[in-house]
Each structure stands twice: as structure tokens, then as C-alpha cells.
Amino acid sequence: MPLFKRRRRTSDPRRELRLYQALTARLESELTDSLELLHSYYEGRLVHLRGRIIGDDDESRSRSTAQIIGHCAKLGLHAHVSGDPEYAHIKLSVKRTPRPRRRWLYPVFGLLTLLTVLWAGGMHVGIDLLADPGSWLRGLPFALTLLAILGCHELGHYFTAKRYGVAVTPPLFLPFPNPLIGTLGAVIQMRSPVPSRKALFDIGIAGPLSGVVVAIPVILIGLSLSTTIPGPAPEPFLSFSSPALIRIIGEDLWINLPPLYHLLRLLAIGAPRAGEILVLHPVAFAGWLGLFVTALNLVPVGQLDGGHVVYSGLRRLYKPFSYVMVPLILLLAVFWPGWAVWGIVLFFVSRKRPAPLDDITPLPRGRRLAAWGALLLFLLCLTPVPALI
């Protein structure tokens, strides 16, 4: 039975003080095997405990931390453990009951997203499906490819979160009637705290890795279907390779290729030749979008995937990245205005850091090395100037 149930804010400080005293006295007696309580206080409607995590090494202290978190959970409390094991900071808050999900949103938004991405796919092959709905099959290659990459990205997060016992919503696809992409991507929501740094890292990295695993063969297939035409291409700008061309009804758009895409291009069709322009097949462009979305998600700040990875694996770099990335993205907006929108998004998501319940047990060495790999993947997928205007 939970010790406390969530109640409305009370103006009776004496009652709150009695509850706080009863709770701390109970925890001090019941957690003697895992916590040496040094002092406690009540502030900001949270109970704060300060003490030493009992244990002689990381493994034993990790078990003690898990016992503290598990015992508090039985009392209806979330215990966030942070700081140093010799003087840990434990913040206790009452568990919140998540609001009921609007289940109808998922199939409705999924269907709408399929339609808008299908329409965008038609535009890439020169067909407006609103005027010629009978040609909808022509839009399928782009639509299915892009949705597969985005879906696998979110499902990577979803199944990894489930494995760690985190309550999480299914992927919610977001329709966007735009002739270029047709969607704003997909999102999931974690509705309970992440238990540990290890879980936070695995959940954060699972999405980008899943998306890239799908995007790489897609790009190779799409490049084999792409064509070349004679003509001069613009000079590369903040890119390793000459730009490629995508064609939408009534308009041509030059896009720069990120390093990973350039490497796959060398593997699939060889180096670009002078006097030739690469015209990307819609499937190849969907793969390009997959790498671009991966780079956006791996920006190492706040609640983004990259923020989770860096916070859990490379803690000392988290604050410097948070301070640098937003101004850097806004600087890139001078060369491509789309970065201004993403810079505003980053400003808000960077203000809240990820916080697992066990924020004191260090990440295993292998995962710390993998965090550096995630930063390398970010750079390989990054296109500083995605489109030439």
C-alpha cells in the first residue's frame, strides 16, 4: 500500500510537517541496510534526504541504490538519487497517475500521415495526387521508405523502454501537408521515470541506431535507382561532396550530402564526375531525410536522444554542449533559415535535463565508449547546410 496518495496542495503547514516527519522516521528505520541517513529537510513540496549509500564498490552501492528506489516505490514515491555515494542526495516525490491516453489519435494520425507522405511521394515523381488520385501507387516508394525509417527509429526507443519497465506510448506519427516530406516525424512519450543511467543511455541510442540501420540499405538501393544528367553542379559549401538534385513538381532543389551519405554514394555509384549532376530517386531522398532526422535527434542537449546519450555517458560534456549547441545552430541559420526553427526548439528542450531515478551509478565503460560513437554518428549524419537556396 502506498504511504501517501497525491492530494491537492494544502495550506496547512503543520499537517505537511507531520507527514514529512513520519516519512523520514519510517525510511530511516527501514533503509538501514542501504542508506546511512545524515540529515533531511522538506522544501519545494519534496522530501530531501542526504546520506551515504552503503557499499564497498560500485556494484554493492548500485544494489543499495536499487533497494532505496524500490522500497520508496512501494510507498507510492519516486526516489531520485544523485550526487556522490558518500553524500548522496535523494529527492522524494509522490508518484503521479498519468493522464489517460487518447488512443484514437494513433490510428487517425497514422492514416493522415500516410496520406500526406503519399501525396509528397507523388510530388517527387511529378504527380499531384490531389488532381490524379488514381496514380497513388507512384507515391508509395517514397512514403513507405520514409515511414519505415521514422517508424523503426521510434520503435527502437519504444521496445528498449519497455525492456527497462518504463511506461511509454506507441509512436505517434505527425502529418504535415508539405510537398517535400509530408510529415513532421513521429514521437513517443515516456510516462514514468527512467530507472538508471544505463537505461537512459540504451533508450536514447536505440532510436538513432535503429533508424540508421534501415536508412543505410535504403540509400544504397535509392542511389542505384538514381540518375545523372549533364550540367554544372554548384560548388560544395560546408560539405564533402558536390550537391545532389531532387525534383518536385515545378521546382528543383539542391541538397548537400552528409559525410555518411557521401561514403555510401562512393560505394554505390562511385565518385561524382565533372559535368554530371546526380538526380536523387525518391527512395534515395527518403534515406537522406533519415540521416538528417538522425542528426537532429543526436544533437547533444536536453531531452533529445543525443542529450540522453551525453548526459548518461559523457557527463562532463553535457553542460558545455548545452551552452554551445543553441548558439551554434542559430549561427548556421545564416546559411540555411531552417536552423532558426530548430534553434528555437533546442532552446526549450535544452532547459530540462534528463533525470533517471538512479543518477549515481556510473555507466559501464563499454557504453561510455559507445557514447563517443554516438557523437561520431551525429557528425557523420550532419549536414550543416542541408539545402542551397
43-52: per-residue pLDDT in tens? 767 889 999 9
State the pLDDT at residue 341. Answer: 86
Contacts for 337 with CB less than 8 Å, ≥ 6 apart = 389
State the pLDDT at residue 221. Answer: 96
pTM over 0.85: yes
Cell of 10: 494544502
Q: Is the pLDDT of residue 71 over 50?
A: yes
pLDDT confidence bin for 120, thresholds 50/70/90: very high
| CA 286 to chain centroid | 19
Q: So where are the chain's domains? A: 13-94, 105-221+288-388, 226-287
- Domain 13-94: top CATH class: alpha beta
Cell of 31: 533503509
* Phi, psi (degrees; rounded to nearest 5) at 151: -65, -45
Q: Is the pLDDT of residue 194 over 90?
A: yes
Q: Are 182 and 248 in contact (CB under 8 A)?
A: no
